[in-house]
Amino acid sequence: MKKKVKIIILGIALAITSIVSVGFTDDYFEISKNLDIFTTLYKELNTFYVDETDPGKLMKEGIDKMLKSLDPYTTYIPESEIEDFRFMTTGQYGGIGAMITKREDYVYVSEPYEGYPAQKAGLMAGDKILEINGKSAKDKTTEEVSKVLKGQPNTSVTLLIERPHLEKPFEVTFDREKVSVKSVPYSAYIQEGIGYVKLRSFTRNCTKAIKEAIQGLKDEAELKGLILDLRSNPGGLLNESVDIVNLFVEKGEEVVSTKGKIKSWEKLYIAANRPFDTEVPLVVIINSSSASASEIVSGAIQDLDRGVIIGQRSYGKGLVQQTRKLSYNAQLKLTVAKYYIPSGRCIQALDYSNRNKDGSVGKMQDSLMTAFQTKNGREVFDGGGINPDIVTEKGMVSNIVISLFKERLFFDYATDFRFGHDSISEDFIFSESDYEHFVKYLSDKEYTYKTKTEEALEKVKQKAIDESYFEALSKEYENLLAQLEANKGDDLFNNKQDIKEILTGEIASRYFYQQGRIKSALNFDLELKKAIEVLQNEEEYNRILGHE
């Protein structure tokens, strides 16, 4: 152990030297003093603590706690997690190509990726993984199972699978492959002349994928309007966001700039290439989970008046991260700057450098927001995130829907449906008769939930008990609860439309995988409907963008 401690202390000492080379001379004494205190403490702790310690674990916890005090995006990536980090930037990994989920004691296949080993080997959503390479998978976490399923392409893996409606488990052996999760999982015409492109994340070469998708639409028919869907897109590579904006704006236009503490990290990103299409009317859809690179694209498109933004205010993640190599193949991903879009607005919503006394971070108040102007002179505001030109209401999820999700009853019903139906139409919609069957399916299933009214009544009850009033009110209280329980029986029908939408997507994914899930959701998409309306109304489109 002492040898390990000496090696780590040597690494920290070398870090002091590197700090000097970066140029933090003003803080050198303070940094070196505290590093010396830390290394001394670390050595004493690992040498003399009463129980055996794990030096690596202690260091990891110390690092994580330190970085957490800065912002959520500055993180330490040990060598063991490098592959997961690379997947986030490239969308590629070696494995079987499937999403998995934990249920009770085992991990299940939740969705195989079309065209990859799991799907080609016949694995299906709902399959329980009993063994991997002859070793029991019981009580393993999804992370533990994922690490075993991933591996170098052309290496084999053997799974023992238990499948609903089959009497005995079966074994399947197949080779891992290089899996590339598509950045553009779906594109199609959704109305005459109006194309739709869904971008999942800003991974390497996603600009090329979008360009090919749009070109495919143009080859199919005349493209009169385009919808770019960035909802729930967490972002990714900065250069890809710049290149995507460049597809739609003239060469030389400013897309985004970054400003940080170190001068060399202050950069201006310009559209450097000839655009792909500056004329087609464009709508970008965003929501509260659209972040980072998604906000650069939607914000630049808005500031340059190149398209209409529809949806809800985006997440507000305008912090720039850069990775720095550490010893032993580890890396540090740290925040080095902030994003500013063409109007001069900063995307970042939260100021992590000014925390409240309790450590929390608050968003900027509306009254403190600063006005900026788009290219056409439209007024836009900072305060974090991109506020759409047309704001739509975020749908509320009912308690019964949350409960059905939590108990995996949507998932299980779709699994049973797949075994009862060999095929469905590509335009499948969950019907009224299907819904009646689903209600019967739930009749012997357990799913409990509390309404907000019930939660409020519990608080009233506690107050009444504290003030000695409850005994006189108990009968009325029980009657009210009984009435509420009776009314909850109608929730399946009051939320029928939402439940039908969820089941349509879940079942479609069983036959057509990710594309089926996305396509089915578009049938119920109110924001998409609004986007189509705007693109079909040239006068309204130009009015929103301030075109004369």
User: pLDDT tens for residues 513-538?
Assistant: 999 999 999 999 999 999 999 999 99
- Residue 15 pLDDT: 46
Mean pLDDT of the chain: 90
Mean per-residue pLDDT, 262-273: 90
198, 317, 500, 519: the catalytic one is 317
> How many residues does this entry show for the chain?
548
- Residue 537 pLDDT: 96
Match 């990536």 to its residue by tokens.
77
Residue 292 designated active-site? yes
Quick count: other Cβ atoms within 10 Å of Cβ 299? 30
Short-list 505, 507, 527, 531, CA closest to 518: 505
User: How confident is residue 458, by pLDDT bands cut at 50, 70 and 90?
Assistant: confident
Fold of the 92-180 domain: Pdz3 Domain (2.30.42)
User: How confident is residue 488, by pLDDT bands cut at 50, 70 and 90?
Assistant: confident
Directed axis angle between helix 432-442 and helix 409-420, to 10°? 120
| 112-139: pLDDT as tens digits | 999 999 999 999 999 999 999 999 999 9
Bridging pattern class, strands 225-229 and 282-286: parallel
Structure tokens at 263: 């001068």
Cα–Cα distance, 159 to 486 (Å, whole number): 46
- Residue 483 pLDDT: 79
Quick count: other Cβ atoms within 10 Å of Cβ 466? 9
Cα–Cα distance, 301 to 246 (Å, whole number): 10
The fraction of the chain above a pLDDT of 90, given in percent, is 69
- Residue 367 pLDDT: 64
Lowest mean pLDDT among 24-28, 335-339, 485-489, 508-512: 24-28
The larger pLDDT score, comparing residue 69 to residue 19, is at 69
Residue 303 designated active-site? yes
Cα–Cα distance, 67 to 76 (Å, whole number): 8
The larger pLDDT score, comparing residue 195 to residue 147, is at 195
Q: Which residues of 212-249 are buried (b: 16+ CB within 10 A; e: fewer)?
A: ebbeebeeeeebbbbbbbbbebbbbbbebbbbbbbbbb
- Residue 300 pLDDT: 98
Cα torsion 80, 82, 83, 85 to 10°: value is 130
303, 305, 382, 389: the catalytic one is 303
The C-alpha R_g of the chain, in whole angstroms, comes to 27
Mean per-residue pLDDT, 195-224: 97
- Residue 87 pLDDT: 77
Helix (H) or strand (E) holding 108: strand 106-112
Q: Which pTM value belongs to this model?
A: 0.85
Structure tokens at 91: 């969308």
Mean per-residue pLDDT, 251-278: 93
Structure tokens at 156: 């084999």
| 384-416: pLDDT as tens digits | 899 999 999 988 889 899 999 999 999 999 999
The larger pLDDT score, comparing residue 90 to residue 444, is at 444
Q: Contact at 8 Å (CB) between 353 and 343?
A: no
146, 201, 241, 292: the catalytic one is 292
Burial grade of 503 (CB within 10 A; 0-12, 13-18, 19 or more): buried
User: How confident is residue 83, by pLDDT bands cut at 50, 70 and 90?
Assistant: confident
H helix and E strand count, the chain = 18, 21
User: How confident is residue 84, by pLDDT bands cut at 50, 70 and 90?
Assistant: confident
Structure tokens at 537: 């109304």
- Residue 487 pLDDT: 74
25: pLDDT strictly greater than 70: no
- Residue 407 pLDDT: 93
Lowest mean pLDDT among 83-97, 148-162, 424-438: 83-97
Short-list 110, 198, 169, CA closest to 510: 110
- Write the class of the CATH domain 186-321+336-394: alpha beta
- Residue 47 pLDDT: 93
User: How confident is residue 364, by pLDDT bands cut at 50, 70 and 90?
Assistant: low
Mean per-residue pLDDT, 36-43: 93
SS3 content of the chain, % helix, strand, coil (to 5): 45, 20, 35
- Residue 86 pLDDT: 76
User: How confident is residue 26, by pLDDT bands cut at 50, 70 and 90?
Assistant: low
Tell me the three state secondary structure of residue 103.
Answer: strand
Match 């290219």 to its residue by tokens.
375
Cα–Cα distance, 468 to 460 (Å, whole number): 12
- Report which DSSP code applies to 366: G
Cα–Cα distance, 353 to 70 (Å, whole number): 7
Cα–Cα distance, 404 to 339 (Å, whole number): 40
- Residue 19 pLDDT: 43
* Cα–Cα–Cα angle for 287, 204, 72, rounded to 5 degrees: 50
Residue 317 designated active-site? yes
User: How confident is residue 172, by pLDDT bands cut at 50, 70 and 90?
Assistant: very high
Could you tell me which residues come within 8 angstroms of residue 55 by beta carbon, excluding any fewer than 6 positions away?
1, 4, 5, 8, 42, 46
21: pLDDT strictly greater than 50: no
| 281-305: pLDDT as tens digits | 999 999 999 999 999 999 999 999 9
Q: Contact at 8 Å (CB) between 497 and 401?
A: no
Cα–Cα distance, 187 to 126 (Å, whole number): 27
